[in-house]
Amino acid sequence: MNSNSVLRRAASLLLLAAPSLCFAVDTHIWEQSDQADFSRGTAQKLSIRSDGRVTLSPSFKELDSTTVPYLWALAEDSKGTLYYGGGAPTGNSTKVFALTPGMKPHEFADLIGLEVHALAVDSHDHVYAAVLPDAKIYKIDDKGKPTLFFDAKCKYIWAMAFDKAGALYVATGDAGIIYKVTPDGKGTKFFETGETHARSMTFDEAGDLIVGTDPSGLIIRVTPKGEGFVLYQANKREVTAVAVEKGVIYAVAAGNKTGGLTVTGPPPVLPGGQLQVSGTGLAHAGAAPPSLPPAVGSLSASVAGGSELYRIQADGFAEKIWSSPTDIAYALSFDAASRPLVGTGNKGIIYRVDSEQLSTELLNTPPTQVTNFLRGKDGVVYAVTGNVGNVYAIGPGLETKGTLESDALDASEFAQWGKVHMTTTLHGGNITLETRSGNLNHPENLWSAWTKVNVTELGGQIQSPSARFLQYRLTLSASPTGESPDLSLIDIAYLPKNIAPRVSIIEMAPANYKQSASNAALERNVLPSGSPATLTLPAVGQKRNGLNPPSLEVGATSTLQYSKGFITARWSASDANGDPLIFKVEIKGKAETQWRLLKDKLQDRFFAFDSAAFPDGSYQIRVTASDAPGNTISAALTDSLVGDAFTIDNTPPEIINAKVASGEIHFTAKDSLSWIDKAEYAVDGGEWNILEPVNKVTDSQSLDFELKGQPGQMISVRVYDEYDNVVVKQFPIS
């Protein structure tokens, strides 16, 4: 990206971040620049680094697809023959497979047991396999015939490793014991970890054992004399794999220590073929096994807490260098540059840890668990998987071509597509980009065809039809020398079509109330008996509950205060583009044809005016919304709505037909526009009292009243209509 494009993009992002400074229906930028953006798409043969750098992935070749659902163990002899084994949650036997260079894979041995979880090859290329659930080790000759080599008298064997003298070390559970077995098959207890499981194990360059445990998450160094020292206690419960590279110890651990670990693997089988179910999963009696991949068709649970990778320097300093809140790490190895590789489930992702700050989603494998690694010759790394049980070769070279189909951009409305800008380094390779568009949220359903975009330093114009949704597809191709291009940013410009705003409803607040009257203004108003000083109304469009005070929402909650003669109109309006709106408010008599302007360029969604400036009668309000603040003059759109008729009534009612005889007062209260609302009386200037009409009900514009007084009294009568207009009259009693 050149300097001009950098400035363009920065300016675009600044404007988008500050809508008050720009048009709302302006060019939008869809930016894809970090790992989360690209990972939401579908990547094939591509790696995505944590800072958003996209490159070709290491070559990933399937070597064998076995007949078992899960493979856990992997070993290689001096001739380059690979041995791998695993198992299934059912059956009475399990298998070890072999793959010799230049030959087809084949079944090497058939063993009694549920699974093979550990394999080892001695200096004479003899193969040793440990089976569960009765934790026996078999020595297999070159014809594939197994012979019992050692019975650990425990439930689990998790790892095996030969020392330089030819002794076999065996990491077990459920007592966490490490056995040392001599070449003649005689085994003794070598070290007791004090843990339930010695879960993982390897030798360092000095000949010390490095052991990972469960459930305390310990990483222990054990000398050839059987002396142990805890190098580090992990934050996680189960140390699933340990490895040593150039004198530095690495370990991955998974699962919360307190109540978070739940068995996810195939249910281990008790003697007699019965399963035991614990409160958190499926387990052997007496010990909860560590986390295994979920078995096909079995109860599937999860290991809570994610995973962490630790590095322990030669001086003993330990630090966490990678973590995932969701992935469960099962396997650990290194690439040709000694960078750690972490195999995980249950999404089948292989991570490469590039530094303390950076990691790469190196491969997203078709199986859902990567269960073990083995470093081969010439930079190749072998991997076995679960669900399904396959064998793969990783590297050492890169894939020659890879693709990424993005997730779909939803422009929310119909949009016109602009240019694409990319930040790339080609290294002699090539990156092409294609787009397609549609109006359905699933790209495969009746979208346009993929169309190539010719992207230069000045960007490339998208040719896909205008629509609501857009998707891009990247294709990375290696250079003739095998180098990968890389991409770190894609900007796609688009312009949503401007859509007219909508005024959906107009309501008139009760008469004589307006918003935000000051205390001084309030004091100048005479409050009729029973009229509240303030009034809260429901949101526009919601009905009031007659039993409770109403509430008003004009944008946020607003309070209306009593102000005689004022009328408040309020409305609801929206804009699909999110444009800021201004409003014009007009009024006319119901029988008139000409609208009169009350207020223009109003930003509030309400307006109060003094009705005393208008003759009594029936009126209507018209509100026009405009999105002009967010658009050019030529592109601005409007929408108008006329509200229901309302009444302006500032004339008091009349008291007519008044008669005083024999101490009784008879009169009629009448109003020309509204109902009589209330009548009161006072004797000799005393307190006001409610006066009921003759028929007891205030139900019309004309009501008759009767009142009895005493000789010499002065009776005052006042009558209100619905609009708080009042008339007062005195009656002396003779």
List pLDDT tens digits, range 189-211: 999 999 999 999 999 999 999 99
53 Cβ neighbours under 8 A, 6+ residues apart: 486, 487, 488
Same domain (yes/no): 340, 194: yes
pLDDT at 282: 28
| Pairing outcome for strands 209-214 and 218-222 | antiparallel
pLDDT at 25: 60
Q: Which residues on neighbouring strands pair with residue 307, listed in sequence order? A: 254, 324
* Average pLDDT score, the chain: 87
Same domain (yes/no): 482, 565: no
The arithmetic mean of pLDDT across residues 221-243, rounded, is: 97
pLDDT at 443: 85
CATH of the domain at 709: 2.60.40.650
Residue-wise DSSP of 239-304: EEEEEEETTEEEEEEES-TTTT----SPPPB-TTS-B-B-SSSB-BTTB-----PPPTTS-----T
Q: Three-state SS for 706?
A: strand
2 Cβ neighbours under 8 A, 6+ residues apart: 457
The arithmetic mean of pLDDT across residues 600-626, rounded, is: 96
Cβ atoms of 460 and 454 within 8 Å: the answer is: yes
Same domain (yes/no): 674, 639: no
Q: Which residues on neighbouring strands pair with residue 599, listed in sequence order? A: 585
pLDDT at 82: 98
pLDDT at 511: 92
Same domain (yes/no): 33, 88: no
Same domain (yes/no): 28, 78: no
Buried b (16+ CB within 10 A) or exposed e, 159-181: bbbbeeeebbbbbbbbbbbbbbb
pLDDT at 26: 78
Q: How many separate domains does the chain show? A: 4
The arithmetic mean of pLDDT across residues 576-590, rounded, is: 93
Q: 404-408, 483-487, 631-635, 686-690: lowest mean pLDDT where? A: 631-635
pLDDT at 571: 95
The arithmetic mean of pLDDT across residues 412-436, rounded, is: 96
The residue with greater pLDDT, 541 or 457, is: 457
Same domain (yes/no): 105, 252: yes
pLDDT at 558: 64
pLDDT at 721 over 50: yes
Place of tokens 């919360």: 256
Same domain (yes/no): 487, 535: no
Whole-number Å distance between alpha carbons of 548 and 60: 70
pLDDT at 265: 38
Cα 651 to its chain centre, rounded Å, is 61
The residue with greater pLDDT, 133 or 58, is: 58
List pLDDT tens digits, range 292-331: 544 332 223 356 889 999 999 999 999 999 999 999 999 9
Whole-number Å distance between alpha carbons of 687 and 674: 27
Task: Tell me phi and psi for residue 35, to 5 degrees.
Answer: -60, -40
Q: How many CB atoms sit inside 10 A of residue 552's CB?
A: 23
CATH of the domain at 513: 2.60.40.10
CA angle 562, 563, 566 (to 5 degrees): 120
Residue-wise DSSP of 447-475: -PPPEEE--BTTBEE--SPPEEEEEEEEE
Show the tokens assigned to 459: 């960007």
| Pairing outcome for strands 664-670 and 654-661 | antiparallel
Q: Three-state SS for 3?
A: helix
Its pTM stands at: 0.73
pLDDT at 131: 94
Fill in the amino acid letter for 313. Answer: Q
- Listed residues 648, 663, 682: the one ending a domain: 648
Same domain (yes/no): 449, 583: no
pLDDT at 641: 97
pLDDT at 92: 78
Q: 233-242, 244-253, 279-288, 691-700: lowest mean pLDDT where? A: 279-288
Q: How many CB atoms sit inside 10 A of residue 368's CB?
A: 17
User: How many helices (H) and strands (E) are present in the chain, helices listed first?
Assistant: 3, 59
pLDDT at 3 over 50: no
Same domain (yes/no): 19, 168: no
110 Cβ neighbours under 8 A, 6+ residues apart: 93, 94, 95, 144, 146
CATH of the domain at 109: 2.130.10.10
Cβ atoms of 306 and 342 within 8 Å: the answer is: no
Q: Which residues on neighbouring strands pair with residue 404, listed in sequence order? A: 43, 474
CA angle 309, 375, 131 (to 5 degrees): 85
pLDDT at 637 over 70: yes
Same domain (yes/no): 443, 530: no
List pLDDT tens digits, range 60-99: 999 999 989 999 999 999 999 999 999 987 777 899 999 9
Same domain (yes/no): 547, 449: no
List pLDDT tens digits, range 156-178: 999 999 999 999 999 999 899 99
Same domain (yes/no): 420, 337: no
pLDDT at 381: 98
List pLDDT tens digits, range 245-293: 999 999 999 999 874 333 333 333 333 333 332 322 223 333 345 655 4
The arithmetic mean of pLDDT across residues 469-487, rounded, is: 97
pLDDT at 67: 86
Host domain of residue 643 = 502-648
pLDDT at 555: 45
Phi-psi region of 235 (alpha: psi -120 to 50; beta: other; left: phi over 0): alpha
- Listed residues 380, 398, 416: the one ending a domain: 398
- Listed residues 398, 428, 447: the one ending a domain: 398
pLDDT at 554: 40
